[in-house]
Amino acid sequence: MWRQCCPTCSLFPIAPQHKIGDACLMENTSLSPKPFHFAAAFGAGSLLTLMILCNGTLAAYGSLFFASWVPHLAGSVVALILLLILRPRRAAKARPPIWAYLGGVSGGVTVMLTSATMNTALALSGTIALGLAGQVLFSLFADMRGLFGLPQRMPTQRDYVSLAFIIAGSLVLIFFGGEA
Amino acid sequence: MIIYAALAVIAGLLVGLSRQINGRLALSTSAMESSFWNHFVGFAFITCVALIIGGLFAGEPQASPWWAYLGGPIGVIFIAAGSWLIPRIGAAQTAMLIIAGQMISGVVLDIAMGAPGSPWARTFGVALILLGMWASRSKRPKPITKHTHSDN
């Protein structure tokens, strides 16, 4: 019966461990991340710290454009090589809509905005803190609406509680944890 | 000032927007292909803007240490991970777990590099974040089959 709840299940064939039932539960409301998802997201956050360290160092020697241009160039080359080696299977035969290729533009604008606000009274800490707010607001709204064709998922009370703790802890670290 | 604060919030919104769009691309292709297009399209875009505004090679970029160039390869894995996660655990869970990882690893890095900072604030901040992560690990959703049993 519950198979019907999930028309998007067929969009998930890339992950063999991702069973149809799991996808349905996710749509239902409150799938908690599995330990592997947990580790992957947490690890991605750690990679982000290293990335900011690298790009920030580039920016200290060259221009802010350079510090964004070089990682995008190097990233394109590395991703292309990885694609050629790994040859991941395409998840769907249907071509994605053309706008789905434009995520990089949004990322490019982000760099320009943050490099503008960093040099105002907001400084790095204010820029990061307000950026976290924007990111969280967008992600909650995106989940509620299932924006851009991703699965819809109503945030639970638990989600709001844990978000509040994580944001509070982040603000403590940003404003009191060190000399940013 | 209000304008700059708004710009900083918009920068955050765009981070979410980009992750959502990349996630959609990964649904049709693969996480790695999504990461490639993110970097390639971003590269083309920044090149155009830099050509218009100028100053791409200002400063002494050749003087930077070699490891500073590793940001790109690290970003490839970061974007691929985000694109893989977002359709599986949702945008909000993805965002908050990435933020948690970023903040806690930032503290570790600061301590490792000997950056000055308040130990109690670091401990308190990390504790709040860990508490938040613990809270997000909700109980298993009730099996749906149970409902059909009782309905019958």
Identify the residue among B62, B64, B146 best suited for mutation to test binding to A, counting A beta carbons within 10 A and taking the highest.
Answer: B64
Give the number of beta-carbon pairs within 8 Å between A and B: 486
| CB pair distance less than 8 Å for A178 and B110 | yes
Give the closest-approach CA distance of B124 to chain A in angstroms: 7
* Structural domain contains residue B79: yes
CB A134 within 8 A of CB B9: yes
Q: How many domains does chain A have?
A: 1
* Structural domain contains residue A65: no
Q: How many domains does chain B have?
A: 1
The C-alpha angle with vertex B8 and arms to B2 and B11, in degrees rounded to 5, equals 140
* Structural domain contains residue B125: yes
Q: Is A18 helix (H, G, I), strand (E, B) or coil?
A: coil
| A178: DSSP letter | S
The C-alpha angle with vertex A121 and arms to A115 and A126, in degrees rounded to 5, equals 70
* Structural domain contains residue B39: yes
Residue B114 sits in which domain range?
Answer: 2-137
CA distance B37 to A104: 7
- Written as one string, the DSSP assignment of A45-93 is HHHHHHHHHHHHHHHHHB-HHHHHHHHHHHHHHHHHHHHHHH-PPPS-S
> Percentage of residues in chain B with pLDDT exceeding 70?
90
* Structural domain contains residue A122: yes
As given in the structure block, the two tokens for residue A178 are 């060190």
Q: Is A98 on the interface with B (CB under 8 A)?
A: no
* Mean pLDDT along residues B15-22: 95
Instruction: Kindly report the number of other CB atoms within 10 A of residue A71's CB atom.
Output: 29
| CB pair distance less than 8 Å for B30 and A148 | no
| CB pair distance less than 8 Å for A57 and B64 | yes
* Mean pLDDT along residues B44-55: 91
For residue B133, pLDDT beyond 50: yes
pLDDT for the residue numbered A11: 39
CA distance A172 to A153: 29
Q: Is B141 on the interface with A (CB under 8 A)?
A: yes
CB A101 within 8 A of CB B26: no
| CB-count burial class (<10 Å; 0-12, 13-18, 19+) for B116 | exposed
pLDDT for the residue numbered A2: 36
Identify the residue among B76, B83, B108, B122 best suited for mutation to test binding to A, counting A beta carbons within 10 A and taking the highest.
Answer: B76
From chain A residues 99-118, the ones with a CB under 8 A of any chain B CB are: 99-114, 116-117
pLDDT-based confidence at residue B111 (cuts at 50, 70, 90): confident
Chain B residues in contact with A79 (beta carbon < 8 A):
32, 35-36, 39-40, 76, 80
* Structural domain contains residue B34: yes
Give the closest-approach CA distance of A10 to chain B in angstroms: 10
What Rg, from alpha-carbon coordinates, does chain B have?
21
Q: Is B111 on the interface with A (CB under 8 A)?
A: no
| CB pair distance less than 8 Å for B16 and A138 | yes
Give tens-digit pLDDT for B123-132: 988 999 999 8
The C-alpha angle with vertex B13 and arms to B16 and B50, in degrees rounded to 5, equals 95
Give tens-digit pLDDT for A44-71: 999 999 998 898 888 888 888 888 999 9
* Structural domain contains residue B91: yes
Sign of CA dihedral A109, B32, B96, B102: negative
Tens of each residue's pLDDT in chain A, 180 residues: 333 333 343 333 333 333 333 443 344 444 556 889 889 999 999 999 999 889 888 888 888 888 899 999 999 999 999 999 998 888 888 889 999 999 999 988 988 888 788 778 888 788 888 889 899 999 999 999 989 989 888 988 888 998 999 899 889 888 887 754
CA distance A163 to A8: 27
Q: Is A124 on the interface with B (CB under 8 A)?
A: no
pLDDT for the residue numbered A125: 80
- Written as one string, the DSSP assignment of A98-150 is GGGGTHHHHHHHHHHHHHHHTTSTTHHHHHHHHHHHHHHHHHHHHHHHTGGGP
- Which residues have CB under 8 Å from A106's CB, separation 6+? B14, B15, B17, B18, B21
Q: Which residue has the tokens 């670091």?
A: B122
CA distance B74 to B105: 15
Quick one: closest CA in A to B30, which residue? A90
pLDDT-based confidence at residue B25 (cuts at 50, 70, 90): very high
- Which residues have CB under 8 Å from A163's CB, separation 6+? A136, A140, B92, B96, B132
* Structural domain contains residue A23: no
Residue A175 sits in which domain range?
Answer: 98-180
* Structural domain contains residue A134: yes
| CB pair distance less than 8 Å for B103 and A169 | yes
CA distance A137 to B11: 12
pLDDT for the residue numbered A93: 80
Q: Which residue has the tokens 């400063």?
A: B59
* Structural domain contains residue B150: no
Taking CA atoms, A43 is separated from A36, A98, A170, A171, in Å, by 10, 30, 17, 20
ipTM: 0.85
* Structural domain contains residue A103: yes
* Structural domain contains residue A150: yes
Give the closest-approach CA distance of A17 to chain B in angstroms: 12
| CB pair distance less than 8 Å for A108 and B42 | yes
* Mean pLDDT along residues B39-64: 89
Q: What torsion do the CA atoms of B101, B104, B110, B116 make, to the nearest 10 degrees?
A: 150
Give the closest-approach CA distance of B133 to chain A in angstroms: 6
* Structural domain contains residue A41: no
Chain A residues in contact with B62 (beta carbon < 8 A):
61
